[in-house]
Structure 1
């Protein structure tokens, strides 16, 4: 097996080589950045042409190779280049992405320019001790996905389809819950052009109260639900004022209309399509591989960008607070240009969220990397929370002074010394791709020249190029609409009837209609709905878990004796609402209901059949990883367990590597001291040998001159000089022998040091192999719920909305 390059070290990011500002030369020593230092965040500052983009892409490439996922906010369209990794480095790989105008400027055809680009990339990688295999390693390590909110150019992502209630853990955390409510309200208000200030804005206070009221009960809201509740809130007081005094109905209706315009406008149709905004899915693929998610917002208006980034940061903060504390790097949040989102003056809704993340995310192993060209336009007090500053060429003296101000603040917070004069001088002499690195975890600033990136830097990608890159991923992202709809779609709907009469005591619930296209009407179709509590127990897997399930099965025509078969669907908790609260019953149409729904005795039989079905089918699979001593948590599927194991393996790896560094540190330091001593002895012995040789030549030379030119050829003086010269020659020979012995000792000690370093490298490689997430073996067991503990509540009828167009074709109207 070929040996890995020296920079391919666990938890170390290869960003370039060390640069000597005194000589202006870049040496051979690699600049390696400890990934754990990113948990205290990083700032990258540099003007256009400074090499800032290359440095940031290198950092993200290294994170991917180390298995660390990243969410990247891309306001300019440059980050899609991370998807342009070509392990074969063939001209045909580069050809679709080369700029035709650049080819013309170079005096080449596009094909010739692609060939020269491929050659240049191969040479550039080789100059930085990288090869095509490393490009392949990066490409295999993580999936790069480009999401385009409000557009289907890339993989579409939606935040307008629903305002889902946060998990129970967040609802129990008062601060996290407030941040989530505030961010959601502020984001929506910024989109419709209203003041998002959480204290001064009456709109924000009303909207936050509506969300707070629903989410505290675990109730998900569709946008349609939200619009109705803005106009008619489920509370009658706001603070000490009654609702009408605080926000009269006429004004509330106006706000509801503005939000409704979003729902009705064809311009915003794109916001209703795509995958839901879930941080876990942005960080990991369906099979648990790390992902670099690029959220491209270059095509959006300023208001739309602020709306999306606000909701994204709110979701990211909620996700972060649900993680366990760790000192190892878990995930990255990167923003390519933070200008406008974290200003020194003003309070956009994103500023508060960034400040909270900068202060709190480090405890959870989450690192923020923020880049900007204009440091004067960013709140330096906020950036003083960052432990690492990568500083490239700056445009103005004012920029430099703002950076120095922020650096000094960061050093004070970390309790580190800051040399203002030295940093000022260092910043003045930087050239392209040269950076000063001020890391509070190091003894002083470092200087580096950035390495050649693995990805092809094609510049900002067009919508068409993004679509081509994401063609396959968009196909895989297509998902059925709604809650696993299994009823026949696209078929003519049955004629609507009056509301069916059900037995006394049978509750009627309904799902809200999210969107009804113009010219269509809503018809409610019935389904049987049941909830149950299941108890799973296993002493082997330390399992004692109660779980609640909500299921429904559509009913049309006749109902079989056991209706809980292939048509069974899971319903999210909190989704159904009482029928009379969800709809104005005087304006609702109902589909015909099977006659069996009117028989009271049938419900008891169906309830018993549901219990049997849940015992047979609702088994829980638990997983165990013996290498790490980890067992899956209740409700955690194999994908989520593997994601958690990835972080557990990284933490275990970091601990083991730290132990190895501690154990070998004294050995290496002792060996290095011995090598240093041996080298100094060689130098000393060589100096003595040279001096002895020179003395012997002088002594013998003096006697010969005296003999040749003196009056007495055989005088006693000349005889003594000659004998002294011969003895000096003997001593010089002895000194030469001493030099040889010293050289042998030096060589022996250097070989000993190399052997210790090789031993350490072998042990680190063994740790990496043992703890590689792809090598971890899982065992699993399927556990049925304890039958005697299954508790099925009385069944209800669930009415689900279908949108019926003028030709009578019906489509699901929820989800």
Structure 2
């Protein structure tokens, strides 16, 4: 057990030129941490591993620690397995990584166990070290704003401090300023200037008025004081001049909306933000408390980090001074909390602690991937630098600026060169308490490091170190005992039945109002209806999307299939068609149950284990592939295919429109053909009618001439002129010819008119046939089934789902009704 007297064992020296690991061990005096430390390195440099090692060493020295874990990496601090058995590693191995490697989870666990055993041996560590680490401190993962881990109550942050107002005004006003800035940030007010912001000034004065009198505040009281402050003036102005009542009401509403939100209730339950309790057990055993923040949004993280550092500072002020490391505060990724330009609520308090905490034996460790994102003043306050491989020259330049600020006179060129040569798990250690820097390769971490854990894994990791049981022993609001089996009312269990870690589990929201449920049970319970309890029942829920492709018709349709199974008919056999339900918006599902709920057994779903669940999922996919087809309605004659979502009426209308278009096109063609023929005949008719008119005119004229010539002939004969008889006969012949022309023309006109009528009749008959033909195509609709390829079936969820019910219990009467509406 090297270096267990006092110093932290970090690793072994490393030659940058030859890139060779040497045998000389590297130690670090923990008391040097009172001047704080910065760990920096890009992704993959081993920065997180080094942080874990430092926290392991602190634990072995009995030094308590507060760990701020924005991403979930530091939850690995609870994964120490002294026996190095594969089955210990198995629940935590990355199943996706194992699948990519083509090995089973069991093989991956055995591989991890062997890797850790060999790695620890290479660093001179073994089972005694792991057992010492396990027993040295108590571990727990806290999840502020969630009950996935141990919840945290922030109410203590508004309580009057233990130190008196008089003599500590400056310190307490700084705490008030940080608390108010964090609170305003939580309701969406950013970049608050404490001197210019009316909201900040008002809330700060309310806090000061209460704390001066030694009175605690809570949010409800704070909201009341916003509307009716306990003072009449702010500065030289009256309260209403400085901050009109209407505007104060608006601020009160913003705070009240936040307080009224159901999600805020978890901020008021659990372990009070009492740093003394967080650092030591009632028996005095040190604690390493990990504050997991991955589930929070940016505003909520900023709010909690500010309150936590403020609480650390307040606790620190009640302690005696110390030159030895008393407490370690580790922040795994400081990016965004100590930026170089803006001033978020966390920045002021962190800078203040960097300057003042060393006098109280509190060592801050700040880890970051990008030094360029950290304020120069923060970097220059650190006495220890552990520098890994960096991503950009800009990061290196910022780091060197910080080094020069912390230790003027450093050889910038020499450091620049060394930093450029660093590799994975190789760090440059610069300590202002030592004369020269060290290059070292980190030792093997004693904790298993599978990477960030998810919120759903937090209960299991806390159970691993019995943190939940210890929390249940403390009188902390909102923390339920996990050892209770039957609820006080005897309805179900207080905790959900244990499932394999690989079985996904979700909770349906309670989206049905209590009043609606009370009306339903009104006729079943005599007298007053009691307030219901929440009771969960389990079901298997599967939801998959099948994409149907009919490329011939340019159709792509996605269909969602959802099934709910509350009871298995027979092991491994499911008639999926009997369990289909309305699709579900998966975003509704939650990853934790309602508080104070009880749970039914898994008796009806006794088959639930990871392997069988996967078999069922595959069978669900196969059922969709084999039996579920897309019914494609089409009319090939018209070239119409029903689009996804088309109703019968819509499809019929599309067919009618297509039929009308095709009918009109053929009608137009026929009309055009007949129109040409008719025009020819009508033009011929017009010419013949003109000719007839001319012939009739000529006939009339000839008849007049003939009559005149006859009279002249008769007179001539009477006078004895024989030549006049011949001329009269000529006129007669001309009249006869004219009459013949008229008769011929009239006959031609009759023939042309008959042809016109014939063509019109033919046109009418052909149009009727065309209309009949296209009308008949409307009925030529067929349904063509289209199947989805297996590769186009995507399972979105196949999991155990707990559905909430209202349990109305009155004496021996019990009525259970759903507390949910499916799909809404």
User: TM-score of the superposition, structure 2-length normalised?
Assistant: 0.57
Aligned to 1:454, what secondary structure does the other structure show?
coil
Residues 1:17 and 2:17 are matched in the alignment: no
Aligned to 2:52, what secondary structure does the other structure show?
helix
Q: 1:111 aligned to 102, 106, 109, which one?
A: 106
**Cα deviation code 1:348-401 (max 9, x no counterpart):** 111110110000000111100000001111112221010011000000111111
Q: Is the 8 A contact 1:95 1:111 kept in 2?
A: yes
Q: Is the 8 A contact 2:77 2:447 kept in 1?
A: yes
Matches within 5 A, 1:671-750: none
Residues 1:469 and 2:461 are matched in the alignment: yes
Q: 2:51 aligned to 44, 56, 70, which one?
A: 56
Question: Who is 2:122 aligned against?
Answer: 127
Cα deviation, residue 9, structure 1: 3.7
Cα deviation, residue 482, structure 1: 7.2
Aligned to 2:312, what secondary structure does the other structure show?
helix
**Cα deviation code 1:411-454 (max 9, x no counterpart):** 02xxxx30111101101111100001111111111100000000
**Cα deviation code 1:145-191 (max 9, x no counterpart):** 10000000000001147721101346641221112211221111110
Matches within 5 A, 1:514-533: none
Question: Who is 1:550 aligned against?
Answer: none
Aligned to 2:342, what secondary structure does the other structure show?
coil
The separation in 1 between residues aligned to 2:156 and 2:360, in whole angstroms, is 29
Q: 1:375 aligned to 350, 371, 378, which one?
A: 371
The separation in 2 between residues aligned to 1:462 and 1:110, in whole angstroms, is 18
The separation in 2 between residues aligned to 1:518 and 1:483, in whole angstroms, is 22
Residues 1:326 and 2:322 are matched in the alignment: yes
Question: Who is 1:84 aligned against?
Answer: 79
The separation in 1 between residues aligned to 2:276 and 2:475, in whole angstroms, is 20
Residues 1:354 and 2:350 are matched in the alignment: yes
**Cα deviation code 1:535-578 (max 9, x no counterpart):** xxxxxxxxxxxxxxxxxxxxxxxxxxxxxxxxxxxxxxxxxxxx
Question: Who is 2:300 aligned against?
Answer: 304
Given the superposition, is the C-alpha separation of residues 482 and 56 from structure 1 closer, same or farther in structure 2, using an over 3 Å criterion? closer
Q: Gapped runs of 5+ residues in structure 2?
A: 480-487, 490-512, 516-807, 812-824
Q: Is the 8 A contact 2:42 2:388 kept in 1?
A: yes
Matches within 5 A, 1:63-462: 63-160=58-155, 163-169=158-164, 172-195=167-190, 196-412=192-408, 417-462=409-454
Q: Gapped runs of 5+ residues in structure 1?
A: 485-489, 492-516, 520-805, 810-815
The separation in 1 between residues aligned to 2:324 and 2:273, in whole angstroms, is 25
The separation in 2 between residues aligned to 1:345 and 1:21, in whole angstroms, is 35
Cα deviation, residue 206, structure 1: 0.4
Aligned residues: 486
Larger Rg over CA atoms: 2
Cα deviation, residue 469, structure 1: 1.7
Q: Is the 8 A contact 2:163 2:318 kept in 1?
A: no
Matches within 5 A, 1:495-506: none
Cα deviation, residue 321, structure 1: 1.6
The separation in 1 between residues aligned to 2:329 and 2:468, in whole angstroms, is 23
**Cα deviation code 1:501-550 (max 9, x no counterpart):** xxxxxxxxxxxxxxxx999xxxxxxxxxxxxxxxxxxxxxxxxxxxxxxx
Aligned to 2:322, what secondary structure does the other structure show?
coil
Q: Is the 8 A contact 1:436 1:448 kept in 2?
A: yes
**Cα deviation code 1:603-633 (max 9, x no counterpart):** xxxxxxxxxxxxxxxxxxxxxxxxxxxxxxx
The separation in 1 between residues aligned to 2:235 and 2:188, in whole angstroms, is 25
Residues 1:35 and 2:30 are matched in the alignment: yes
Question: Who is 1:613 aligned against?
Answer: none
**Cα deviation code 1:312-354 (max 9, x no counterpart):** 1111111112211111000011100000000000111111101
The separation in 1 between residues aligned to 2:119 and 2:376, in whole angstroms, is 36
Deviating runs (4+, > 4 A) in structure 1? 479-484, 806-809
Question: Who is 2:40 aligned against?
Answer: 45
Question: Who is 1:649 aligned against?
Answer: none
The separation in 2 between residues aligned to 1:307 and 1:464, in whole angstroms, is 23
**Cα deviation code 1:634-667 (max 9, x no counterpart):** xxxxxxxxxxxxxxxxxxxxxxxxxxxxxxxxxx
Given the superposition, is the C-alpha separation of residues 242 and 65 from structure 1 closer, same or farther in structure 2, using an over 3 Å criterion? same
Given the superposition, is the C-alpha separation of residues 125 and 171 from structure 1 closer, same or farther in structure 2, using an over 3 Å criterion? farther
Cα deviation, residue 41, structure 1: 0.3
Q: Is the 8 A contact 1:170 1:318 kept in 2?
A: no
The separation in 2 between residues aligned to 1:217 and 1:92, in whole angstroms, is 57
Q: Is the 8 A contact 1:157 1:277 kept in 2?
A: yes
The separation in 2 between residues aligned to 1:214 and 1:9, in whole angstroms, is 48
The separation in 2 between residues aligned to 1:50 and 1:117, in whole angstroms, is 20
Cα deviation, residue 8, structure 1: 2.3
The separation in 2 between residues aligned to 1:171 and 1:157, in whole angstroms, is 30
Q: Is the 8 A contact 1:125 1:453 kept in 2?
A: yes
Given the superposition, is the C-alpha separation of residues 171 and 58 from structure 1 closer, same or farther in structure 2, using an over 3 Å criterion? farther
Alpha-carbon RMSD across the aligned residues, in angstroms, is 2.4
The separation in 2 between residues aligned to 1:306 and 1:173, in whole angstroms, is 26
Aligned to 1:338, what secondary structure does the other structure show?
coil
Matches within 5 A, 1:796-815: none
The separation in 2 between residues aligned to 1:89 and 1:286, in whole angstroms, is 31
Aligned to 2:144, what secondary structure does the other structure show?
coil
